[in-house]
Chains A and B, each alone.
Chain A
Amino acid sequence: MNGPLTAGIATLCHEIVTKMSSDAGGQLQQIGNRLNDPLRVAIAGRLKAGKSTLVNALIGRRVAPTAAGECTRVVTRFRYGPADRIDVVTRDGARHSLPLDEDGMVPSRLGVPAARVAHVDVTLTSDRLRDLTVVDTPGLSSTDAASSERAEEAVGIDADSAGEVAAAEAVVYVFTQAVRADDRRALESFHVASARLATSPINAIGVLGKVDTLTGGADDPWPTAGPLAAQQAGLLARTVSEVVPVAALLAETAEAGRLTAADRDALAALAALPPASLRVLLTSADLFRGRPAPIGAEQRERLLARLDLYGIGFACAQLTADPRLGTGELVRRLLAASGFPRLQETVDRTFRWRCDAIKAGWALTRLQRLAGFTPDPRDRAALRDGLEAALRDPAYHRLRLLDAAQRAATGAVPLPPLWEQELIRLATSDDPRFILGLPDAADEELTTAAITAAGRWRTYAVDGAGPAQARLAHVASRGFHLLAQSGLTRGNPSPAGPSTTGEVRACRT
């Protein structure tokens, strides 16, 4: 899953490790290994925003406990492993192993007081985790100040400190209904916590969770959710690149396969009710529990816990329209209705590709430091040579672009909005059509447009900009120049970036 930049550095590590003394070689090995780790995404947000539910949906298995009250109190990392196991890592570094409980979930009692737990390390055989490590965090703004602090530690990214285990390369910030002032503050404070890899539009996205509760009852929330998410994205433009609305509960149920054929039959029985009484039944959870209906109380509670009123209403509507709908197809439609595919696509597009550069940047800094501090002069020379050779590759210009985009996006160097967006597009994508905003252009057009853009940025750098802007503009100009060249040589956009703008639009609707 590694991108070209990371792969390049990994190869470099691999090649020169043989020439190194054992000490420096060991460190080199470590850096190389770290490069092969899957992408780490931390899920952060206020308490009860639905973080754990989202985690379950992302993993495709219901392992993180979710409950009515405040639930997650320790940082939990879910990663791929050969067997399902839980390690509770305490602050003194000791590990206590636990089995998953009988439902296949992380038990709510860890056997160690939460205050002593550094983090919980969960390895699962789930395929989804092969190229994605998910870090679940306790809610921010919790009355339990200690767990909020643990969450901030986990998300404030600090690659060198002891928090590295829990530290993440990307952040998904979950909020409900609307961004509150403290959400913004929390996001900004991550930013302050670490200057280099803090949340910025480069490595963070927002998720508008629980959209199914926006309108209440079984009404379709999407007409409200879409514009609301767009509006919130505007508010958070400095901290997240996009806000994706998701009904995480539906996604969890669909992805973790929690809807059985029996459930489908129960839903079909409900769908057979006259529309008026079904409507009353679905106006509130209490009514759904209490009103007379063709299915038993236990079954109702089960449906409520899995689908919520909106999901039940949606499923009933689907079953009314097509009474012979099978469970599998129903689940598939529910997943589509949850908005989860778009989130997955966004995570993929936003993080995977950028992460390549972020990780490569991290590794280069470490390698350079290693080159500076290694006692053995031969080691130093070998490292320096290797680095020089690697950096000659124009692909590594992306690192500088990313840095420039980060400066622009966080407002450190103010650019006019349109220019800023263009720079961010340039740094975060490799699809020339997306970057240049020409979704249907032919190759020649793209090349011309890229050359024009390069010229425009150079002009901007020379006059009309302050020294800081000029530096960014030069980087951008070179970036467009390289883009024009790559367009000429390659002839078509890379298949790695799945995102033509057209596709993105299709997902949004």
Chain B
Amino acid sequence: MQDLTVVLDTAVRDTLAYLRTADPDAAADLAELRRAHLVRPSVVVVGETKRGKSSLINALLGVPGLSPVDAAVTTAAYLDFVPGDTFGARAWLPDGAEVEVDDLNDWATGKHRARRIEVTHPAPLLRYLSLLDTPGAGGLDPAHATIALAAVRRATALLFVADASAPLSRPELDFLAAATERVDAVVFALTKIDAYPQWRAIAADNRELLQAHAPRFAAAPWFPVSARLAELALSDLPELAAESRITPLQHALVELAGRGHQLRLANVLRAARGDLARLQDNAEARVRAATTDAGGQAEARAGRNALAARKRTESRQATLRLATEIQRARVATVGHLRTRIGEIQHELSEQIDTTGTEGLPDDVDTRLQAIAADVSERLEDTSRRIAEQILVDADRATVSLRHAVSTVPPRGGGGDNLLIALSAGGIALVAGRGAALGIAALGGAGGLLLPFAGIGLGLAAGGYVLYRRKVHNDRRQAQTWLRDVLAEARAALTDEISQRFTDLQYSLSVALDDTIERRLREIDAQIAEIDAAAAEDAAGRAKRRAAAQRDHDAAAIRLRQADEALLRARALTPAPIDDDRETRR
């Protein structure tokens, strides 16, 4: 496994070095892409409330009490564990404000309503991957599940936590089924094996349940662990370390992270391969140009004109199609948004009627968060779909889109800065037909909660104050407040959606033009080559041809190297878990 990383890494390095001399522009792009791709793999820890997620994270990191654990409280915020030299924590509030955290306990258990807390810690495991602790997907609560699923989507892998007290329940299996569409790699942990003597029977049951309800994961590895024993082992009973069974899980995660790294390298290499292929084509054309006579020359010129004409009409058509598609998608997304907001309104106002106004703002906040996650997911999917549809014949799409990403128009205004950053992030996803998994991590688990912080702002800053001032326990006022807040959220989201689509249209048109321009330039260069070759004598032509052949060969060698590496990497993509098991055996 390790040598695959080396192979991929060497291939990327060599390609990059070669490109620096042959095509500095492409090399710069690629270097940028590589930097963006090689962020730390992230593992999202999900499971129902009180299954021992936080304890497990503490055990994995070897730091008892880092993520707050108590039988009576549950984790309420997303805790992102990232490496750092010292222990520290920062929290993001729903309105996007950033706060230094002094007492992690208070923050993590929801006393301050933080959306996300980033904890830096020097634990060894964090050098390989970052861990995201999620609030438990509490039973059937669909809003929480949606948010957790959005987190899963950005992750390299999922660590699903169930405990040994009971077999998987219906909601857990539903959640898993939804998660399968978003992430390839899932690792299962069975916690609390110290407290339940029959954990082996439960583990067997769980495997059967997966076989029946989520067959994709039937063969996925289960890691029975005991966080409590791990903690005891750290404090005064070191002989329990083996009994806690934490180490195999740590190893599996590191290995998984390594594979995530390989996948990303493979993606970079795949992008680089596109450039190499282009260079090779160019060199080949030059070779051909050097060998052609006057007749062939005229033919080439005619071909060039035809191509240029076709490309121009095609470009017009493509632009039109792009506009139509975007318009259609915008209408669909806004419609979807309206439905969702309507559902929430209905649901919450019923709740007000039956159970009163207790905890309403928090419910609204959670649901808005879920909507935001849902809509951004839709946006992402739509963008990718459109990009693929429009650019499907322009085979240099990925290359050109890299330019598109950097040319997103900036938007002004304080809070919007966040949105810009993430708009760019969102569109960056377009770049990857192949690169999807890699770039997704660019936004990281961190980005995921922020893109719609604008809405949170509407609720967090003004909403809570208004709520406190006006509503109290009055149900009618609560209904009014709810209607206002949701209307505002809808307006904000609709604006944001329009913005996103405008951005998308802009960057896609740029990308489209760019692709066509570049292609035309290349053809022009080819013609010039043919002209120059025609002007020279046989010896000069032979020399020219030899030079072109050298370039061609150099590109071909790199291409072959890249292909070989990619071929080996291909085994990674389809079912990472299965092949992981094979190698372990």
Residues of A within 8 A of B (CB): 46-49, 67-70, 139, 141-143, 145, 148, 176-178, 180-185, 210, 213-217, 224, 227-228, 231, 238, 280, 283-289, 304-305, 308-309, 411, 414
Contacts and interface: CB of A to CB of B under 8 A. Distances in A.
A310 B559 CA distance: 65
Nearest to A48: B166
Given A46-B166, A280-B237, A283-B240, A215 B213 contact: no
5 contacts: A46-B166, A48-B167, A142-B170, A213-B192, A284-B229
Contacts of A286: 193-194, 243
A213 B196 contact: yes
Interface in B108-135: none
Interface in B226-253: 226, 228-229, 232, 237, 239-240, 243
Contacts of B138: 180-182
Contacts, number: 131
A284 B167 CA distance: 20
Interface string B177-196: 00000000000000011111
B169 A142 contact: yes
A231 B74 CA distance: 12
A238 B74 CA distance: 21
A430 B55 CA distance: 47
B104 interface: no
B165 interface: yes
Contact of A285 (B48, B72, B193): B193
A58 B232 CA distance: 36
B50 A309 contact: no
Interface in B62-80: 71-72, 74
Q: Give the 4 A-B CB pairs with smallest separation, nearest first.
A: A48-B166, A182-B139, A284-B194, A68-B201
Given A68-B198, A143-B168, A217 B72 contact: no
A95 B300 CA distance: 91
A217 B194 CA distance: 7
A305 B198 CA distance: 9
Contacts of A280: 237, 239-240
Contacts of A287: 194, 240, 243
Interface of B: 48-50, 71-72, 74, 136, 138-141, 144, 165-171, 173, 192-202, 204-205, 209, 212-213, 226, 228-229, 232, 237, 239-240, 243, 354-356, 473
Contacts of B139: 141, 180-185
A210 B165 contact: yes
A117 to B, nearest CB: 21
Given A178-B50, A224-B71, A414-B473, A283 B232 contact: yes
Contacts of B49: 178, 180
A237 to B, nearest CB: 10
A216 B243 contact: no
Nearest to B204: A69
Given A47-B166, A141-B169, A286-B193, A181 B71 contact: no
A68 B232 contact: no
Nearest to B70: A224
A217 B196 CA distance: 10
Given A143-B167, A143-B170, A182-B139, A305 B197 contact: yes
Contacts of A184: 139
B135 to A, nearest CB: 11
A181 B192 CA distance: 21
B248 to A, nearest CB: 15
A180 B170 CA distance: 13
B170 A284 contact: no
A141 B212 CA distance: 16
Nearest to B245: A286
Nearest to B233: A283
B110 to A, nearest CB: 14
Nearest to B195: A213
Contact of A69 (B193, B205, B356): B205
Given A178-B49, A228-B72, A308 B197 contact: yes
Nearest to B163: A177
Contacts of A210: 165
B483 to A, nearest CB: 21
A284 B193 contact: yes
Which residue among A227, A285, A288 has the maximum number of chain B CB atoms within 10 Å of its CB?
A285
Contacts of B356: 411, 414
Nearest to B138: A181
A238 B351 CA distance: 13
Given A228-B71, A411-B354, A414-B356, A143 B169 contact: yes
B72 A216 contact: no
A141 B209 CA distance: 14
B478 to A, nearest CB: 12
